Amino acid sequence: MQFCRIYTGADSQSHFEDLDQSEGSNHFLAAIPANALVFKNDMNRTDLHGWHPAPRRQWCITLSGSVEIGIGDGTKRTFGPGDVFLAEDVTGQGHTAVPRNWVRAFVHI
């Protein structure tokens, strides 16, 4: 299984990094301490979100719908049901998010 990490680079811009969750990787079957689990639902909001950094380090698991995440170089990715990303871009310009009936779980770490 792969997941995407969104992080702030030395250029203060957000970047995507694809990571593999396979046997032997740092994330495979590892217990990751969590501070909270939050479920959110943004049904077809067009105002969410302009440029913003992640409010904290958090895993995001899309349960239904989708979200398009954009980063500073113009790259955009769409995350749908079952997709997981790790938001670590807590500084810098951040990213944009365009939800489409997006229901997700955030795991604060």
User: Domains of the chain: which residue ranges?
Assistant: 2-108
The pLDDT tens digits of the residues spanning 89-100 come to 999 999 999 999
At 104 the pLDDT is 97
pLDDT for res 66 = 95
Residue 31 has a pLDDT of 75
Q: What is the 3-state secondary structure (H, E, C) of 22-69?
A: CCCCCCCCCCCCCCEEEEEEECCCCCCCCCECCCCCEEEEEEEEEEEE
What CATH number matches the domain at 2-108, 3.50.50.60, 3.30.70.2860, 3.40.50.2300, 2.60.120.10?
2.60.120.10
Is the torsion defined by CA of 76, 18, 79, 55 positive or negative?
negative
pLDDT by residue (tens digit) across 7-32? 999 999 999 999 877 655 665 556 77
Element (H, E) at 104: strand 96-108
Instruction: Name every residue whose Cβ is closer than 8 Å to that of residue 79 and which is 6 or more positions away in sequence.
Output: 4, 60, 62, 66, 67, 69, 85
pLDDT at position 59 is 95
Instruction: Identify the sign of the CA torsion 101, 63, 89, 68.
Output: negative
Q: What pLDDT does 45 receive?
A: 63
Reported as a single tens digit per residue, the pLDDT across 30-73 is: 677 899 999 998 766 665 678 999 999 999 999 999 999 999 99
